[in-house]
Amino acid sequence: MRNIIIFFFILVSIRCGSDLLNVKAVTVPELYNNIKENNVSSLVLLNIWSTSCIPCIEEFPYIVKLKKRYDINKLDVVFLSTDWDENEEAAENFLLSQKVKGQHYRKLEGNTQEFIDDICPSWSGALPFTGIFNQELNLLSFWQGKRDEKFFISKIDSLLGAKG
């Protein structure tokens, strides 16, 4: 009986853990290592945003919806905020307001040039930035600036189709 209670408790803890939001400040290598450690999806969509960026906020809700649209084996959605330290709380509150759960990230302040080039050397630095990676975290497709929901779905579907 005792073992069953412990097992049930562990099960509930794991379930609650995945329902919690956790935001970690990272460098790009740390971001990639963290994603690789936990990834089970064929594709990983990384959206880089900021609470200060209106187009980021506008496109945010339909990126959140993508997580529900696709099976976790096919697509994972990861958010990386570029908010400065002073806006850390605002960024987390925004994620909570959008009902975002699980592990997400915030850019460690400083070294912006290195950060941009490590993500994608062709990225100008304009926000929002979205990249779609394969399981090995090779960048397959990216775009900068706001896009509509159809664009996201079409890109993901075409990459999933290409993977067979």
Partner 1 sequence: MIRILTLGIIALTTLMSEEISIGSKMPGSDYILKNINGKESELSTYKKENGLLVIFSCNTCPWVIRWQGRYNPISELCSKNNIGFVAVNSNASQHDGVDSFDSMKEHAKKYEYIFPYVLDSGSRLAKTFGAMVTPHVYLFDKNGDLRYRGAIDDGPKRVKHNYLVDAINSVSKGKSVRTKTTKSLGCSIKY
Interacting residues with partner 1 (CB under 8 A):
50, 52-55, 82, 84, 110, 112-113, 116-117, 122-127, 139-146, 162
Question: Which H or E element spans position 144?
Answer: strand 139-144
Angle of CA points 67, 33, 96, to nearest 5°: 40
Kindly state the smallest distance separating residue 138's Cβ from partner 1, in Å: 8
Given the complex with partner 1, which of 55 and 102 has the nearer CB atom?
A: 55
- Provide the token pair at 155: 């890109």
CB of 124 to partner 1, least distance (A): 4
The CB-of-51 to partner 1 minimum distance in angstroms stands at 9
Where do we find the tokens 């976790």? 72
**3-class state of residue 57 by DSSP:** helix
> In sequence order, which residues have a C-beta less than 8 Å from that of residue 38 and are 6 or more positions away?
103
Nearer to partner 1, 54 or 96 (CB): 54
Closer by beta carbon to partner 1, 70 or else 115: 115
